[in-house]
């Protein structure tokens, strides 16, 4: 099951997917007459692989492969604060909760402990690629890149730049030091993954208010020269927008602050974009810049409702972001659900055309995220030549022959809730089952993560059945 376009939730039954040793999809064959189950095959280790997978995909189970989810905006360093935001809004939230926590990542022990938890947790929710903000600390940022690589999560890793409106003890000293430390993190990423196929650096001015014009310009020049990705925040909250007007009196608007510095391109990720004007939407669209929609964060710290339909209609690539810890959840499935809910809130004022549907929300979670992170054609859907970047989703299937041993009383039947939070009775269409997953699922439904398949593909080559005919 995948969403190759926003309006298509494609369900393929009885399909064989051939995956080569380099994790690329080699063939997709429909086997309409197969009485057996769908197979995923390493062409070189078919027999070993199929016995492991076949049990999971046996007939009568509501299990399916789905592309890995993509988190286009999150703060790895803020994970310990997930759920802790009280009644704050952006600017006081930053000062009260966020800067003190991020400042503590001068401790590498802390960074190691937290970053291992974050990446593990993100993967367990089926997220195979993420755009991370770390902190200003070079060593801790480099450690995050190491952890992503060791755990096999594709990542953009950003060292945060902030040289004003930040605590004395947690900031860049100057434009020169911000640039030097950014370069050190870029060099580290290049040293651990020269091809950049898994780990890439991302130039990360925190947001306009915490950067001087000189620093924004220097980072913009670096972006134009090196083509490394950029990530930052934009137009999240009204007080922030007012502050940008005060701090950048010469700029036409918030988006122009970044554009004037050379920071807007098709390799830039803008988080939030809740309150952009028509002119700003046009500019962002013209630059081909992507937006990370963070519905949970925007609700938790009461920033507003991002006009996703409007952004999409302007041709802007949109992905989903957890924005931990403005948002409390590291799950992109939660973000798909919350994007659906936020669009319904807007619909209550503006009419039903702005509502997202399930295929659109899942498209944002996969293909949209891939576009925003420069991974188009690499991951996000199942197609020949693309990576088999997937998870196995399982929904608890309620069959009437569930062992009755726990039952007590005439109308009491055994119920096993350990299988996951979603009950499928068997009569639902596959579209209905996916809807149940989107609205009711969680990490318990992720039966196998991508790392499992990568491990399988690394097995010793044996004689392939395909090659034998
Ligand atoms: N704007 C500047 N910094 C941040 C941050 O850490 N989180 C969010 N949500 N917005 C920001
Ligand atoms: Fe953020």
Q: What is the mean pLDDT of each run of 10 residues along the chain (469 residues)?
A: 97 81 84 54 46 56 92 98 98 98 98 98 97 98 98 97 97 98 98 98 98 98 98 98 98 98 98 98 98 98 98 98 98 98 98 98 98 98 95 84 59 81 92 97 92 62 38
**pLDDT (0 to 100) of residue 104:** 98
Whether 468 is covered by a domain: the verdict is no
Whether 379 is covered by a domain: the verdict is no
Are 219 and 271 members of one domain?
A: yes
CATH of residue 225's domain is: 3.20.20.140
Ligand 1 nearest-atom number relative to CA 98: 6
**pLDDT (0 to 100) of residue 56:** 63
Contacts of 150 (CB under 8 A, 6+ apart): none
Are 267 and 308 members of one domain?
A: yes
Are 125 and 178 members of one domain?
A: yes
Are 247 and 330 members of one domain?
A: yes
Ligand 1 nearest-atom number relative to CA 207: 2
Cα–Cα nearest to 122, from 73, 65, 86, 158: 73
Tell me the residue range of the domain where 37 lies. Answer: 2-67+391-398+411-457
Are 203 and 333 members of one domain?
A: yes
3-state secondary structure of 17: strand
Q: Is it true that the peptide bond before 121 is cis, omega within 30 degrees of 0?
A: no
Whether 41 is covered by a domain: the verdict is yes
Whether 465 is covered by a domain: the verdict is no
**pLDDT (0 to 100) of residue 44:** 46
Q: 160 C-alpha vs ligand 1 centroid, how far in Å?
A: 11
Whether residue 306 contacts residue 342, with contact meaning beta carbons closer than 8 Å, is answered with: yes
Q: 359 C-alpha vs ligand 1 centroid, how far in Å?
A: 29
Ligand 1 nearest-atom number relative to CA 303: 9
Whether 462 is covered by a domain: the verdict is no
Are 41 and 152 members of one domain?
A: no
Candidate of 91, 96, 160, 236 to mutate for ligand 1, largest count of ligand atoms within 8 Å of Cβ = 236
Are 50 and 181 members of one domain?
A: no
Whether 240 is covered by a domain: the verdict is yes
Whether 130 is covered by a domain: the verdict is yes
Q: How far is CA 275 from CA 113, 233, 303, 364, in A?
A: 36, 12, 9, 20
Structural domains of the chain, count: 2
Candidate of 71, 103, 206 to mutate for ligand 1, largest count of ligand atoms within 8 Å of Cβ = 206
**pLDDT (0 to 100) of residue 62:** 86
Q: Are strands 160-161 and 199-205 parallel, antiparallel or unpaired?
A: parallel
Ligand 1 pocket, CB under 6 A: 75, 90, 94, 98, 206-207, 233, 236, 297, 323, 326
Are 359 and 418 members of one domain?
A: no
**pLDDT (0 to 100) of residue 57:** 65
Are 191 and 307 members of one domain?
A: yes
Whether 155 is covered by a domain: the verdict is yes
Are 18 and 87 members of one domain?
A: no
Are 57 and 75 members of one domain?
A: no
Are 261 and 124 members of one domain?
A: yes
Q: 233 C-alpha vs ligand 2 centroid, how far in Å?
A: 6
pTM score, whole prediction? 0.94
What's the rounded Cα separation, in Å, for the pair 177 and 159? 12
**pLDDT (0 to 100) of residue 43:** 47
Q: 130 C-alpha vs ligand 1 centroid, how far in Å?
A: 16
């Amino acid at each position: 099951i995948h969403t190759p376009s926003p309006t298509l939730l494609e369900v393929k039954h009885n399909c064989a997917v051939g995956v080569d040793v380099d994790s690329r999809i080699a063939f997709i064959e429909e086997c309409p007459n197969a009485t057996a189950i769908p197979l995923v095959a390493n062409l070189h280790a078919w027999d070993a692989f199929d016995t492991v997978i076949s049990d999971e995909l046996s007939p009568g189970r509501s299990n399916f492969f789905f592309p890995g989810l993509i988190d286009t905006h999150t703060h790895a360093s803020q994970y310990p604060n997930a759920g802790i935001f009280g009644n704050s809004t952006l600017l006081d939230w930053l000062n009260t909760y966020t800067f003190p926590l991020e400042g503590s990542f001068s401790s590498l022990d802390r960074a190691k402990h937290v970053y291992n938890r974050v990446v593990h947790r993100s993967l367990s929710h089926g997220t195979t690629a993420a755009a991370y903000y770390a902190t200003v600390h070079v060593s801790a940022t480099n450690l995050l890149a190491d952890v992503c690589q060791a755990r096999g999560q594709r990542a953009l890793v950003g060292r945060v730049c902030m040289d004003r409106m930040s605590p004395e003890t947690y900031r860049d000293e100057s434009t020169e030091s911000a640039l030097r430390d950014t370069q050190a993190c870029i060099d580290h990423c290049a040293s651990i993954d020269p091809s950049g196929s898994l780990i890439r650096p991302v130039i990360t001015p925190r947001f306009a208010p915490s950067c001087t014009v000189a620093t924004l310009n220097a980072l913009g020049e670096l972006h134009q020269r090196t083509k490394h990705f950029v990530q930052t925040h934009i137009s999240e909250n009204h007080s922030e927008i007012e502050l940008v007007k005060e701090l950048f009196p010469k700029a036409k608007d918030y988006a122009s602050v970044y554009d004037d510095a050379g920071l807007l391109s098709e390799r830039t990720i803008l988080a939030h974009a809740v309150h952009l004007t028509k002119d700003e939407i046009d500019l962002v669209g013209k630059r081909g810049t992507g937006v990370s929609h963070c519905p949970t964060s925007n609700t938790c710290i009461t920033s507003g409702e991002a006009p996703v339909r409007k952004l999409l209609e302007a041709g802007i690539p949109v992905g989903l972001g957890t924005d931990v810890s403005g948002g409390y959840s590291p799950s992109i499935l939660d973000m798909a659900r919350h994007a659906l809910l936020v669009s319904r809130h807007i619909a209550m004022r503006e009419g039903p055309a702005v509502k997202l549907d399930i295929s659109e929300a899942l498209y944002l979670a996969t293909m949209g995220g891939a576009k925003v992170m420069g991974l188009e054609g690499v991951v996000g859907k199942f197609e020949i030549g693309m990576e088999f970047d997937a998870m196995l989703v399982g929904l608890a299937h309620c069959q009437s022959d569930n062992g009755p041993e726990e039952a007590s009383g005439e109308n009491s039947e055994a119920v096993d809730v350990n299988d996951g939070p979603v009950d499928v009775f068997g009569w639902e269409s596959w579209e209905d089952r996916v809807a149940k997953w989107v609205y009711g699922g969680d990490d318990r439904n992720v039966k196998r993560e991508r790392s499992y398949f990568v491990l399988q593909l690394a097995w010793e080559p044996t004689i392939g059945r395909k090659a034998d005919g």
